Amino acid sequence: MTPDAKRTVRITDTSLRDGSHAMSHQFTAEQVREVARALDEAGVQVIECNHGDGLAGSSIQYGFSRESEMDLISEAANVCEQARIAALLLPGVGTIEQLKEAVKRGIGVLRIATHCTEADISQEHFEMAKELDLEAVGFLMMAHMRGPEVLVEQAKLMESYGADCVYIVDSAGAMLPKDAAERAEAMKEGLDCQVGFHAHDNLGVGIGNSLAALEAGADQLDGSLRGLGAGAGNAKTELLAAVLDKMGVETGLDAFKLMDAAEYTIAPMMPFEPMPDRDSISIGYAGVYSTFLLHAKRAAERYDVDVREIMVELGRREAVAGQEDWVIDVAMDVAKEKEGAAS
């Protein structure tokens, strides 16, 4: 069936990494074992598991992990029979020291994330990943902020450092399907390595964007069970599995098992269900980092300001991934302004 060969796509599940944001980094070893086992049994080939902000993300800036991410990686690796474990690393936050430790704990895939214009800070990490025989995946974050041309140029840098795949990462959940498609198409054309797409559902088009990227040639997609992730969450893994199956796209996933995992494993441990509610829609609409959501809610409460005012100002200041400190700074500025206006 060569001319009509079935289209395949690899799905990476990031419930245990992007989901770490929605869980305020409180995953326990037991929860990680349960989730990883369920994903492994459902045929997921790559399971990302570590602090939401990448290796060594445990901090005041992003929130401390309840349990050591290295221990959680070990737990996930131990229960998986076929799936490989991935970890995310943000150069500037995590370093090669943690990368080496994560390899000892059992990761087989490293995903290296930079802001979509800063790929050249990832060279040493890609080179080390390849030296350690890892599959290395590039992650160009906040990719809605730049057009296809810039993304291709940045992705090519990652490719030259050794990336096996480069992802378009819609960290702000700000893209529409045509944005995803034109970026994926340009990347496929400009790169020899694979192309991936990571969605956030802030504008309710997480699945739509993933499908648009797929149609445009993407080889890999991300999902999380019940969408457990930052902001309104990610494309739901179980939903991707069902939809792709209906489209006749080969994923190797068992959609029913994933639905069960979402229903019985993840749902009971979720502190809330990420969805495009008022605050998440604001994030997608303003184009700010999805992870700011819970930080902004806390700051809004602490300084008695509207969470949307914080988001809009962060958007105006062009905050990028990782700048959670600006959330507090902006909240304090907004509060000061209000006080000034009142007096």
Contact positions with other proteins (CB under 8 A) in 214-273? none
* Smallest distance from other proteins to CB 90, Å: 9
Among 121, 176, 269, 275, binds other proteins (CB under 8 A): 121
- Looking at the Cβ atoms of 56 and 203, the one nearer to other proteins is 56
**Which sign does the torsion angle of CA 310, 313, 319, 325 carry?**
negative
Amino acid identity for residue 200 in this structure: H
21 has catalytic annotation: yes
Contact positions with other proteins (CB under 8 A) in 4-63? 56, 59-61
204: helix, coil or strand? coil
User: Would you count residue 206 as binding other proteins (CB under 8 A)?
Assistant: no
Contact 293, 231 (CB under 8 A): yes
Contact 260, 52 (CB under 8 A): no
Burial of 222 (0-12, 13-18, 19+ CB in 10 A): buried
- Looking at the Cβ atoms of 172 and 205, the one nearer to other proteins is 172
* Site string (298-337) toward other proteins, x via CB under 8 A: ----x--------------xxxxxxx-xx-xx--xx----
User: Would you count residue 92 as binding other proteins (CB under 8 A)?
Assistant: yes
Contact 114, 140 (CB under 8 A): yes
| The one segment of 37-45, 91-99, 175-183, 203-211 that binds other proteins by CB under 8 A | 91-99
Contact positions with other proteins (CB under 8 A) in 97-116? 97, 115
Contact 18, 232 (CB under 8 A): no
- Looking at the Cβ atoms of 21 and 84, the one nearer to other proteins is 21
* Smallest distance from other proteins to CB 78, Å: 24
- Kindly report the three-state secondary structure assignment for every residue of 35-57: HHHHHHHCCCCEEEECCCCCCCC
**Residue 342: how many CB atoms within 10 A of its CB?**
6
Residues that bind other proteins (CB under 8 A): 56, 59-61, 64, 91-93, 95-97, 115, 117-118, 120-121, 123-124, 302, 317-323, 325-326, 328-329, 332-333
